[in-house]
């Protein structure tokens, strides 16, 4: 039998009525002849509640017990989904991560999947089980402890199972009906995409689009898993994430992404010498600061300024790490200038590879609206700029208009 993976997020299984609606979708795929692996998240809000209980119980909690607690939300959903399917006359069984097993690293709270042993699932499908309901977000460490994969980890679970089971497709059901050219809450003319290339989706996910978790897209691209993003609440086509070759003709720019809560930090007057960048960014990495855009100014008399961006929530950690490194004698700087009022806006498109002048068009559109650019970074298929946060919505709308993203072709 062909196999299909269906993943339902928290809002899609928020209560018993929605679990029943999701089960109806699964039943339809079984009737089409598929053996189905259903990956479920915890009911909406349940993971936050469990995290809150852990923190109230112990401020300095044991990460292993944290995982034992917060993974339980998915177990409940999986059992309820299996029961609902059985009531519909479908041979279904639930599986927790350790039962499969899903082998992961030992990084509790942020484990990575290393292998999925499918022999037991294969045997059950061969025996006539039509649906395996799998608790997402969780796995088993080498020490045989429950692990969790980090927020959004159920997307990663679903893609990993699609690869391991050689599934025809992985359908991600969520509270949106696909991937849009930008956030419709900011740009009313945002258009849903029928198809998007893996590379574009990976860039959009990493740049702030919340539809899919970045790691899930990385896995899909590596193992060529065809992903489909669909609405749990409407029966209409979604967006297919696939190989570039499946897209007949791509627009130069496919979407505009943004990250609202960014900060810009500048180290003023550091030594311009070999190894200075490693001396600066090594302590930041050790402190867990997620550094993004990096710009080094032109050197004058052996000194230079180093500017980088990071999430606003990482600023305090960055300041502490840099001050400690300076105090230890690793490097010197005159001043650390922090601007917490910036945002990042990016354009993404595989069509940039074969078209010149894309960056100039972006910069002109922003200039025409009086938006000043503070930092610029580019890659083969994206251009990102750092701007004052108060101009974020204006910038997104201006770029969406400049590249006519409301038009299909």
pLDDT confidence of residue 384: 94
Report pLDDT digits (tens) over 350-378. Answer: 888 878 889 999 999 999 999 999 999 98
Domain positions in the chain are 3-175
Q: Is 74 annotated as a binding residue?
A: yes
Q: Is 180 annotated as a binding residue?
A: yes
pLDDT confidence of residue 209: 67
Per-residue pLDDT band at 251 (split at 50, 70, 90): confident
Q: Is 214 annotated as a binding residue?
A: no
Distance CA 367, CA 389 (A): 16
Q: Is 378 annotated as a binding residue?
A: no
CA distances from 115 to 165, 221, 280 (A): 12, 17, 36
Distance CA 109, CA 403 (A): 40
Q: Is 185 annotated as a binding residue?
A: yes
pLDDT confidence of residue 354: 77
Whole-structure pTM value: 0.83
Report pLDDT digits (tens) over 306-315. Answer: 999 999 999 9
Report pLDDT digits (tens) over 145-193. Answer: 999 998 889 999 999 999 999 999 999 998 888 999 999 899 999 999 9
Q: Is 244 annotated as a binding residue?
A: no
Report pLDDT digits (tens) over 373-397. Answer: 999 998 889 999 999 999 999 999 9
Q: Find the mean pLDDT for residues 317-333.
A: 93
Q: Is 211 annotated as a binding residue?
A: yes
- Check: CATH 3.40.50.300 for 3-175? no
Q: Is 210 annotated as a binding residue?
A: yes
Q: Is 173 annotated as a binding residue?
A: no
Q: Is 224 annotated as a binding residue?
A: no
Q: Is 282 annotated as a binding residue?
A: no
Distance CA 368, CA 370 (A): 6
**Residues 78/40, Cβ–Cβ less than 8 Å:** yes
- Measured over the CA atoms of residue 29, residue 247, residue 223 and residue 136, the dihedral's sign is negative
Q: Is 382 annotated as a binding residue?
A: no
Q: Dmax of the chain from CA atoms?
A: 78
pLDDT confidence of residue 30: 97
Question: Residue 320: which residues within 8 A CB-CB, separation 6 or more?
Answer: 287
DSSP helix/strand/coil, 285: helix
pLDDT confidence of residue 208: 64
């Amino acid at each position: 039998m062909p196999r299909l993976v269906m993943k339902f997020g928290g809002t899609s299984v928020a209560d018993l009525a929605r679990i029943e609606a999701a089960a109806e979708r699964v039943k339809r795929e079984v009737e089409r002849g598929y053996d189905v692996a259903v990956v479920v998240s915890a009911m909406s809000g349940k993971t936050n509640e469990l995290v809150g209980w852990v923190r109230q119980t112990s401020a300095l909690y044991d990460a292993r017990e944290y995982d034992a607690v917060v993974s339980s939300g998915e177990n409940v959903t999986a059992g309820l989904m299996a029961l609902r399917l059985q009531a519909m006359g479908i041979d279904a069984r639930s599986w927790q991560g350790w039962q499969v097993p899903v082998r992961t690293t030992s990084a509790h709270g942020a484990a990575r999947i290393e292998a999925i042993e499918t022999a037991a699932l294969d045997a059950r499908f061969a025996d006539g089980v039509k649906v395996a309901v799998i608790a997402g977000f969780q796995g088993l460490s080498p020490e045989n402890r429950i692990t969790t994969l980090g927020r959004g980890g159920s997307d990663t679970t679903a893609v990993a199972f699609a690869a391991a089971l050689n599934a025809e497709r992985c359908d991600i059901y969520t509270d949106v009906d696909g991937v849009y050219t930008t956030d419709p809450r900011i740009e009313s003319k945002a258009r849903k995409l029928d198809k998007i290339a893996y590379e574009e989706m990976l860039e959009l996910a990493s740049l702030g689009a919340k539809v899919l978790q970045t790691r899930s897209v990385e896995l899909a691209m590596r193992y060529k898993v065809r992903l489909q993003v669909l609405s749990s609440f409407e029966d209409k086509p979604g967006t297919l994430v696939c190989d570039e070759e499946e897209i007949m003709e791509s627009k130069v720019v496919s979407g505009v992404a943004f990250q609202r809560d960014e900060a810009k930090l500048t180290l003023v007057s550091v030594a311009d010498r070999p190894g200075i960048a490693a001396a600066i960014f090594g302590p930041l990495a050790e402190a867990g600061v997620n550094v993004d855009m990096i710009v080094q100014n032109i050197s004058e008399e052996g000194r230079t300024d180093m500017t980088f961006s990071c999430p606003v929530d990482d600023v305090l950690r960055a300041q502490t790490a840099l001050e400690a490194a300076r105090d230890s004698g690793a490097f010197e700087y005159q001043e650390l200038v922090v601007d917490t009022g910036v945002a990042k806006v990016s354009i993404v498109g595989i069509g940039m590879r074969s078209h010149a002048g894309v960056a100039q068009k972006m910069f002109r559109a922003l200039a025409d609206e009086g938006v000043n650019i503070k930092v610029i970074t580019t890659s083969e298929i994206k251009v990102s700029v750092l701007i004052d946060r108060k101009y974020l919505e204006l910038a997104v709308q201006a770029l969406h208009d400049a590249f006519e993203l409301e038009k299909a072709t």
